[in-house]
Amino acid sequence: AGPTREPIDPVRFLSNRSSGKMGFALAQAAQRRGAAVTLVTGPVALADPWGIDVIRVTTAEEMAAAVLGQAPAMDVIIKSAAVADFRPASCQSLKIKKTNQGLRLDLIKNRDILAELGHRRQPHQVLVGFAAESHDHLSEGQRKLREKNLDLIVVNDILGSETGFDVATNQVTLIGRKEIHPLPLLSKEATADRILDRVVTLLGEKAIKE
């Protein structure tokens, strides 16, 4: 859940507007259904939910270490975090002084945690990704589903005022290998439940195949 923060100097960082609401709603809905849940979250203002193991991280690298470390023991992995795609090439140990010139930042790419999860996925595991899209929702969702070796991708529209980052509601489309389910505008709690209904079906299908 949540964003990551990529430090520039001791007081500044690169990040995004993710509040963690979607990820926390998923963790709580899974816990209510009887799952043993580990929630890996970037910096958010939400309190630890009851009955859930919470691992708090700051940077994308810390999130990668925590998620990839926990992954082998998990039956279901849902990646709703808004991981920073880039980080400053170096973090200055002293605060960068304001000068009369502009400031140029060199950014390097963070590794894609979800793609690594897809690469390492065990046959019984259900892997769910999210996609935050402003346009070409379906084609982008289908591309990420395929390229990251996912069972399901939850595509958010992030341009509406009631959907996506830092609001209580979401409007998503669930894209699987064989089907597409557009959902209406719902609370993030109700969205989480609809995603988990689909996850339960996928777990059942995998159990039959084994």
Among 76, 82, 127, 152, binds ligand PMT (CB under 6 A): 82
Site for ligand PMT in 30-59 (CB under 6 A): none
Bridge partners of 154, per DSSP, are: 130, 174
> 1 with 161: CB under 8 angstroms?
no
Identify which range of 14-22, 28-36, 45-53, 192-200 contacts ligand PMT by CB under 6 A: 14-22
Question: Is 16 a catalytic site residue?
Answer: yes
- Is residue 126 part of the contact set for ligand PMT (CB under 6 A)? no
Among 6, 19, 40, 198, binds ligand PMT (CB under 6 A): 19
Cβ distance to ligand PMT smaller for residue 8 or 60: 60
Rounded CA-CA distance 130/143 in Å is: 12
Cβ distance to ligand PMT smaller for residue 110 or 173: 110
Q: Which residues are identified as catalytic?
A: 16
Give residues in contact with ligand PMT (CB under 6 A).
2, 18-22, 60, 79-83, 85, 110, 112-114, 129-132, 144, 156, 164-166, 188
